[in-house]
Structure 1
Amino acid sequence: MPSDYLERILNARVYDVAQETPLELAPNLSRRLQNQLFLKREDMQSVFSFKLRGAYNKMAQLPPDLLAQGVIAASAGNHAQGVALGAHRLGTRAYIVMPVTTPQVKINAVQARGGAVILHGETYDDAYTYACQLATEKGLTFVHPFDDPDVIAGQGTIGMEILRQYQKPIHAIFVAIGGGGLISGIAAYVKRLRPEIKMIGVEPLDSDAMYQSLKAGERVRLPQVGLFADGVAVRQVGAETFRLCQQYVDDIVRVGTDDTCAAIKDMFEDTRSIVEPAGALAIAGAKAYVEQTGIEHQTLIAVACGANMNFDRLRFVAERAELGEQREAIFAVTIPEKPGSLRQFCDCLGKRNLTEFNYRIADQTEAHIFVGVQVENRADAAQLVESFESFGLKTLDLTDDELTKLHLRHMVGGKSPLAHHELLYRFEFPERPGALMKFVASMSPDWNISLFHYRNNGSDYGRILVGMQVPPHEMSQWQAFLETLGYRYWDENHNPAYHLFLA
C-alpha cells in the first residue's frame, strides 16, 4: 500500500519543470451558468499539459543509479512530451515508444525535447507491451502515464495549488478522466483537507472506462474507445487510480462530442485560448452538472488540463460547437415542388437565422430541403417543427443524427434531369435576419429554384449558391432582378466544375 498521499504530494518535485498555473474566473461562463466557474489553467504549462508534473516527479524520485540507466514510456501524446522534457532536465536518456500511426508532428515534438522515439505496433497497447519488454531487456525504468504513486502525487500538486489559490467555499472540482491519475492525485489531496468539496470526474460517452468500472465494482476493459478526446482514450483505468477513485470521487459526468466542442468554444470566448478536446472535458462536465442539478450561486472549478490541439480539427470543432450548445438544429423538410413553397417555408422560420440551406431539384412533386437553423434551445427547435407541420410540411429533426452531421450535410445535390433552363449564380448578402426573405420575395413567382446552398460562416456577409429555372424569353426580367436586388453576384454558368458535377 502506498504511503500517505498527502505526504507524497507535499514532497513532490515538480517545480523544476512545471509552473504554478493561474486559477482564473471565466466571466462569460459564470454568468451563463449562474455560478462562479474558475479555470485551473494547466494548458499554460511549457508542454501545454499537466502531464509533466507526474512524469518528472516519478523520475526525480528514482535512485541515482536507476535514473542514470534511463527511462522509457509508451505514449503518443502529452505524457511523451512530459517524460522527454523531464529526462532532459535530469540529465538522463528517455525512450518513447509510439505506434507507427503517430502523426509526425507529435514525433517531432518529443524529439525536440530530447526523447528518442521508437515506432512500434499499430495501437497504444502494442506500444505499451513493447515498452515494458524493452524496459526489462535494457534495465530502463518504465514511467507509467497514470498508474504509479509518484505520478499520481505529481498530478496531486494541482489540488494543492487550487486550495492555496482559493480559500473560500468550493462546491465542486471537475477533472477529466483517462486512466485516472489526474483526478486521483487531486482528490487524494483535496479530500484530506477539504472533504466537503465534491470531486467530480468527467469522461466522454464513448471512453468511459472509470464510470463503467465504478459501476461494476471492478476494473472494466472497454472493447473500444472513441478517439476524438484522444488524451483520455483509455480502455482500462489503473489499479491504484481505481482504488483512489472508489475512495474519493463523488460522481462522474459523461458528455458527448458536441458538448466537448461547445466547451472548447466557451474556453476560447473567455480566455482566447484553444484547448484540446480532453482539456475541455472538465468545462463540459461542469456545464452538464449545473444543468442536471440546477445549482446556483456556487463556486465550481474546472481543470483545463491540456492544449495540444491539432489545427486541422478546428473546422470540425466549430461545426459541432453550435450543436453542443443546442443553438443550432438541423432538419429535413419536405415542401411541394411548386412556386411559392419556399416563401411559405420562410414564413415558418420567422426571424430565426439560417445557418445552412441545401437543396437540389430531384422530384416533380416534392422538394427535400436540408436546413440548419439557429435556435434558442431544444424547446425552440421543437416549436419550429410544430410550425412546419402545421403548414403541412413534413419535417425530420436530424440534429442528433451522426451520419447527417458528419457526411450527408456535405453530399446534398448532384445532377438533375429536371433542371431545365437553369442559371447558376453566386450571391453575397448582409448576414442578418430577413436577407433570404428579401431574395425570395424579389424574384418572379414563375421562376423555380432548382438548387440552393447556404452555410453560415460566422462572417458579416452570407454567401449562397442558387440555381434558378428561368425561361429563355424572360432573361431581361432576370437581369432586372439581379440589378434591383442590391446583392453582389457572380455568374457561374460557365464554371467547369458546375458542368462536371451539377449541370
Structure 2
Amino acid sequence: MTAPPDYLKKILNAQVYDVAEETPLDFATNLSARTHNRIFLKREDMQPVFSFKIRGAYNKMANLSPQALKRGVICASAGNHAQGVAMSAQKLGVRAVIVMPVSTPQIKVDAVRARGGEVVLAGDSFSDAYTHAKELEQSEQLTFVHPFDDPDVIAGQGTIGMEILRAHARPIHAIFCCVGGGGLIAGVAAYVKQLRPDTKIIGVEAEDAEAMTRSLERGERVLLEQVGLFADGAAVKQVGEETFRLCRDYVDEMIVVDNDAICAAIKDVFEDTRSILEPAGALAVAGAKEYIKRHKLRDKHIVAIASGANMNFDRLRFVAERAELGEQREAVLAVTIPERPGSFKKFCAVLGNRNITEFNYRYADAAEAHIFVGVTVHNRGEVARLVEMLERHELPAIDLTDNEMAKTHVRYMVGGRAPKATNELLYRFVFPERPGALMNFLSNLRSDWNISLFHYRNHGSDFGRVLVGMQVPPEDKIAFQDFLDRLGYQYADETLNPTYRMFLA
C-alpha cells in the first residue's frame, strides 16, 4: 500500500510563486465591528486570475516531467480552474486544452482563450465536458490536470494556509474555507493542523451543494443527484477521494449557508474592501458569520478565505436584492388591509418611522386588499413583533421573509388588471428617499381618492421611484392638479402609456 503524501513537505516545496501572488491578510473593519470579533480576509480574489485556483494548477504542472509537459495538458472546467490551467500553461510554454460545456458564458470562454488556452466546447454540463476531456486525454496523450483531487493541486492550495500563519503570528480561533471538491480546505487543513492544531478548520458549503457535509456525516463520499448553480464555483456533486480523506482527518466542522447569506457576505466584503466577490468566493465569509452567531463568539481572531472574484455581472441585481434579507435587515410581509380610503395611510402610521423598502399593491376586491411590503428591521425577532403589532391593529400579516417563491417571483408579479378600478389615473413619482416622504404624499391626498395601485422599491439611491394608480373622478381634475403642485415631487402622467393599457388597466 502506498504511503500517503507528506503534505507539510509538499506544501513547503510547492512551486506557485512564478505565477501566483502572496495575497494580503486584510482586517475587515466593518464586519469585525458588527460581529464583535477580529475578522481577517485572505484576499485570494486578488490573484492574477482572481481566484486561488492558479496555485494548484501551476504546482501540478510545474511538477510534471519534461516529456509530459511537451505533450501538453488538458482539463475540464467552466470557471476559475480553466483560467488557472491556461495561465500556467502560458507561463510554462506548453499546450493547454480546456474542455468547457456548450452553455459556458462567452466572457469565460474569451478569458481562457486570451491566456492561450485551446477551448473545446462539449456537452451541456460539466459531467459531459469531463467525460469528453478524459477521452481527449487518452487519444491525444495529454496530462489531465484535476481541479481538486490531486496531491500536487492540494499542496498548491495549501500554500494559502502557510501564508496565513506567516502573516498572523497570534492565535487564530478558526479558518473558514469554501468547499466544492475539497482541494482548498484539504490543503489548508493539512498544513495548519500540523503546526497549530488548536486552530479550527471550518468548511462552508451552499445549502444546495453540500457534498462534503453529507459525506463527512455518512463516513463515505456521497454523490448528489443535482446541485444548485448560484455558487457555481463550488457546485460539485461528489468530492474527491483524497480531499475527503484529508477532510475526515483534519476538518473540525462544516457550515451550510443559503443564497441570501451568500449575498449578504458579498455585500459585507464590498463594504470593507470595495471588491465584489463571486458567490463561491464569499462562502467562507458567510460561514464565518453563521458560526460566530451559532457559537456566540466574541473577541476571537477569525480568518475567512475570499477565494474568488470572477463574478458574472448579470448576477449583481439578484445579489443586491437579496443581501438585506441575508443580513436579516429586511422583512418581507403580506398584509391584508380593508379596501377603503384611508386604510393605506393607517397602515403606514402603524409602521411609524420604520423604513419601507418595497411596496406592491393592486386593487382587486371591494372588501379587502393584499399588499406585498418590505420593511427594514434590525433582526428576525423584530419581524415577529412587527407581525404581532399589525395583528393588534386588525391588519393581518404573514411573514414571507423565508418564502423562496415570494422573494424570487411573486414580488415581481403583484399587479394585473383591475376592471373595477374606474376613473383610474396612473402617475410616476420621484420621492426623496427619506422617512416621511410617503406619509407626506398620503397626507396631501384627498381621502375620497382611492389608491388603486402602488409600486415602490428602494434601490439605495437618493430618490425613490414610485408608480401610483388613483381613482379620481373627471370633475376633480383641477383639484387633482392642485394636489400635484402642492406635493412638490417630480411626477409624470403615465395614464396613456401603452404598457399600462396592455398589462394593468
Task: Report how far residue 462 of structure 1 moved.
Answer: 1.2
Looking at structure 1, the residues matched to 494 and 241 of structure 2 have their Cα atoms a distance apart, in angstroms, of 63
Which of these residues, 379, 383, 386, is aligned with residue 384 of structure 1? 386
Task: Report how far residue 340 of structure 1 moved.
Answer: 1.4
- Alignment partner, residue 4 of structure 1: 6
Q: How does 1:48-87 map to 2 (within 5 A)?
A: 48-87=50-89
Looking at structure 2, the residues matched to 277 and 220 of structure 1 have their Cα atoms a distance apart, in angstroms, of 23
Greater mean alpha carbon deviation, residues 344-353 or residues 306-315 = 344-353
SS in 2 for 1:245: helix
Contact kept, 8 Å, 1:348 with 1:384, in 2: the verdict is no
Q: Which runs of 4+ in 1 moved over 4 A?
A: none
Q: How does 1:114-153 map to 2 (within 5 A)?
A: 114-153=116-155
1:478 aligns with 2:480: yes
The normalised TM-score by structure 1 is 0.99
Q: How does 1:195-234 map to 2 (within 5 A)?
A: 195-234=197-236
Task: Report how far residue 266 of structure 1 moved.
Answer: 0.4
Deviation track 1:366-388 (CA, whole Å, cap 9, x = no partner) reads: 11111111111111111111111
Q: Give percent identity, aligned residues only.
A: 67
Q: How does 1:325-336 map to 2 (within 5 A)?
A: 325-336=327-338
Contact kept, 8 Å, 1:169 with 1:299, in 2: the verdict is yes
Looking at structure 2, the residues matched to 18 and 193 of structure 1 have their Cα atoms a distance apart, in angstroms, of 23
Q: How does 1:74-473 map to 2 (within 5 A)?
A: 74-473=76-475
Looking at structure 1, the residues matched to 449 and 343 of structure 2 have their Cα atoms a distance apart, in angstroms, of 12
Deviation track 1:217-273 (CA, whole Å, cap 9, x = no partner) reads: 000000100000000000000000000000000001110000000000000000000
Contact kept, 8 Å, 1:2 with 1:149, in 2: the verdict is no
Task: Report how far residue 37 of structure 1 moved.
Answer: 0.2
Task: Report how far residue 294 of structure 1 moved.
Answer: 0.3
Deviation track 1:321-369 (CA, whole Å, cap 9, x = no partner) reads: 0000011111111111111111111122110011111111111111111
Task: Report how far residue 486 of structure 1 moved.
Answer: 1.7
Which of these residues, 38, 41, 50, is aligned with residue 39 of structure 1? 41
SS in 2 for 1:150: helix
Looking at structure 1, the residues matched to 127 and 429 of structure 2 have their Cα atoms a distance apart, in angstroms, of 52
SS in 2 for 1:407: helix
Please, which runs of 5 or more residues in structure 2 have no aligned partner? Answer: none
Looking at structure 2, the residues matched to 341 and 100 of structure 1 have their Cα atoms a distance apart, in angstroms, of 54
Task: Report how far residue 2 of structure 1 moved.
Answer: 3.3
Contact kept, 8 Å, 1:156 with 1:184, in 2: the verdict is yes
Task: Report how far residue 100 of structure 1 moved.
Answer: 1.0
Looking at structure 1, the residues matched to 494 and 70 of structure 2 have their Cα atoms a distance apart, in angstroms, of 68
Looking at structure 2, the residues matched to 445 and 142 of structure 1 have their Cα atoms a distance apart, in angstroms, of 73
Task: Report how far residue 103 of structure 1 moved.
Answer: 1.1
The amino acid that maps onto 2:256 is R
Task: Report how far residue 491 of structure 1 moved.
Answer: 1.4
Looking at structure 1, the residues matched to 490 and 84 of structure 2 have their Cα atoms a distance apart, in angstroms, of 53
The amino acid that maps onto 1:161 is E
SS in 1 for 2:42: strand
The amino acid that maps onto 2:177 is V
Contact kept, 8 Å, 1:13 with 1:60, in 2: the verdict is yes
SS in 1 for 2:335: strand
Please, which runs of 5 or more residues in structure 1 have no aligned partner? Answer: none
Contact kept, 8 Å, 1:81 with 1:109, in 2: the verdict is yes
Greater mean alpha carbon deviation, residues 262-271 or residues 113-122 = 113-122
Looking at structure 2, the residues matched to 480 and 138 of structure 1 have their Cα atoms a distance apart, in angstroms, of 79
Alpha-carbon RMSD across the aligned residues, in angstroms, is: 0.8
The amino acid that maps onto 2:148 is F
Looking at structure 2, the residues matched to 254 and 466 of structure 1 have their Cα atoms a distance apart, in angstroms, of 41
Task: Report how far residue 3 of structure 1 moved.
Answer: 2.4
The amino acid that maps onto 2:71 is Q
Name the CA shift for 1:411/1:385 in 2 (closer, same or farther; >3 Å).
same
Looking at structure 2, the residues matched to 11 and 502 of structure 1 have their Cα atoms a distance apart, in angstroms, of 67
Looking at structure 2, the residues matched to 471 and 3 of structure 1 have their Cα atoms a distance apart, in angstroms, of 83
The amino acid that maps onto 2:448 is D
Task: Report how far residue 501 of structure 1 moved.
Answer: 1.6
